[in-house]
Amino acid sequence: MLLEKLINHLKLDKQEFLFQFNSHPNYPSALAFSDTLNFMGVRNDAYELDKEYWGELPEEFIAIVDNSFSVVKKSGNQYSIYSDKTKIINKEELYQKATDFVLLFEKDKAESKSFTSYKPFVYAIFAIIFIYSLVTLTWYETVFNILSLAGVYISLEIFNQKFGNTSAVIGSICGDTAGNQSANSCNKIITQDKTSILGLKFSDFSLIYFTGITVLGLFLPATSLVVKGFSFASMIAIGYSLYIQGFVEKTFCRVCLLIISVLLAQLFISTFLFGNIYFDTGIALLSILLWVVLFSSVLYLNTTLEAKESLQKSNAKNLRFKRNYDLFKRELLETEKLNFSDNETFFVGNKEAKIHLSIISNPYCGFCKDAHKIMENLLEKYPDEISVQIRFNYSPDKQNEKFTNLISDFMYTYKHKTQQEFLKLIEFWFENKDENKIRQKTGATSSDEDLTPLIEMSAENRNAGLNFTPIILINGYQFPDKYDREDIYYFIDELAEDEEIL
């Protein structure tokens, strides 16, 4: 199921989205799709809506068009469809190709996660090589190096696509249209390549070759003989590629033909324009070393990425089992439900919320910082569905003056300032762990706050056996030990609808 255009349009992290989607227990259903969008910060509601009411929909929504989840964006009497491909259709065609499923979405303020791309670095290197060639080499040597850079770029795109990252460049060359024969032929040639030398495919050798030729091209004309030799050797690769396309697969790949054109152009330049060709033993040895290094590097990178991809697929399958709500609920209900008499002290969130979390914590607990962060994220993401009580473990007879002053500052802020300021103070504490800064931030002049409610709450914690921190309780049920605390994000929607839990 291709979702490239849709993910790009929503500005989501593609790898993260696909991982979460594939690991959902109900993959590849509409529920899995909706839950994944929610997890990525795109709040949504799904409906089965007859077409006669679609005119009342907002300008942008998600529907299933041509059996693919698609963002539908209305523009006048036309609709832009973002899915396996981007296309513009009219209302009649949309109604004909779409099901009644509609998903209305709204992006949260926190935009999608982003990751650093390697491409700016590659472009910078390309620019340096281009400028260097332009300044120091002849025009035909510069053209040769530009062709080498083109080969490196296309080979990188193919290499990247091999590990599930759809390339817009390859798509545009091959024809980015669902069902297009050219697109299918490119995919068939590239992804189903049966060539394997130490685990490397024919496309991997393309990356090795063009990278090596690019490096050697920087030292022209001294490397003219070596470059010319490899240009002639590329005829073997050209013949093999044409044979595979014409006689084995019986279909031609546009991107493969483009690479062949680059190779032929380089062969022409090296044959008829390169001069001052002479043999140098040192250059020959360095060239051999260069190819060995490049081969080893690509082999290592290929092996590492294949192992990572295999691990991700295996992990996604395991997570489908782990994120099954019925299993989580069974583990949750195995613990005895706790009912506390004090549900008011350090209470934050909506008092009418159906889901009430209790976090057993200690300000000096190293692991509590992450647990508090989870709690804050949930309060921000589900302000109407969730409330939280922070239940610090505190015994005045066992604690030093610093701890007492800190708790007193927390109590002062909770009583005299807003819930948001109280939460920010706790977050500030876990970031800095400085009692003096906390006192300055609160503005409290003394430590005379009544800590009786907190002392009694701590006693309740001890009587219930809640001595270790952090511990999270959901409506009185202790969060299962078999799950990571971060897994709570995946079950909030189901918990909010489970009458047995509520």
pLDDT tens for the chain, residues 1 to 502: 456 667 776 777 777 777 777 777 777 777 788 878 877 777 777 788 888 878 778 888 888 888 888 888 887 778 888 776 778 888 888 888 888 888 887 655 444 344 346 678 888 999 999 999 999 999 999 999 999 999 999 888 888 777 656 666 776 677 654 434 344 556 666 666 666 777 787 778 888 999 999 999 999 888 888 899 899 999 998 898 888 888 877 778 888 889 999 999 999 998 888 876 777 888 889 989 998 999 988 888 888 887 877 776 666 666 667 778 888 888 889 888 898 988 889 999 998 898 999 999 988 888 889 999 999 999 988 888 899 999 998 877 666 788 888 889 999 999 989 999 999 999 999 998 888 898 888 877 666 778 888 889 988 988 888 888 889 999 999 998 888 888 898 888 888 888 887 6
Task: Identify the H or E element spanning 21.
Answer: helix 14-22
CB–CB of 221/202 below 8 Å? no
Give the pTM: 0.52
Residue found under tokens 């910082």:
369
- Domain membership of residue 65 (yes or no) is yes
Q: Looking at residue 187, what is its pLDDT?
A: 64
- Domain membership of residue 409 (yes or no) is yes
The amino acid occupying position 476 is: G
Domain-terminating residue out of 242, 272, 306: 306
Do both 150 and 257 map to the same domain?
yes
Do both 65 and 137 map to the same domain?
no
Total domains in the fold of the chain:
3
Do both 15 and 101 map to the same domain?
yes
- Rounded to a whole number of angstroms, the CA Rg of the chain reads 31
- Domain membership of residue 318 (yes or no) is no
Return the half-sphere exposure (C-beta side, CA atoms, 13 A cut-off) of residue 232.
7
Do both 424 and 489 map to the same domain?
yes
Do both 287 and 161 map to the same domain?
yes
Buried b (16+ CB within 10 A) or exposed e, 338-364: bebeeeebbbbbbeebbbbbbbbbbbe
Do both 93 and 125 map to the same domain?
no
CATH label of the domain that carries residue 424: 3.40.30.10
Pick from 234, 270, 266, 268: nearest CA to 147: 266
Return the half-sphere exposure (C-beta side, CA atoms, 13 A cut-off) of residue 92.
0
- Domain membership of residue 501 (yes or no) is no
Q: Looking at residue 110, what is its pLDDT?
A: 40
Q: 210-263, pLDDT tens digit by residue?
A: 999 999 999 988 888 889 989 999 999 889 888 888 887 777 888 888 999 999
Q: Looking at residue 267, what is its pLDDT?
A: 92
Phi, psi of 405 (to 5 degrees): -65, -40
Do both 131 and 76 map to the same domain?
no
Strand partners, 62: 71, 103
In degrees, to the nearest 5, what angle opens at C-alpha 399 toward C-alphas 393 and 401?
125
Q: Quote the domain boundaries for residue 353.
A: 325-495
Domain-terminating residue out of 73, 107, 141: 107
The amino acid occupying position 10 is: L
CATH label of the domain that carries residue 100: 3.90.70.10
Do both 191 and 213 map to the same domain?
yes
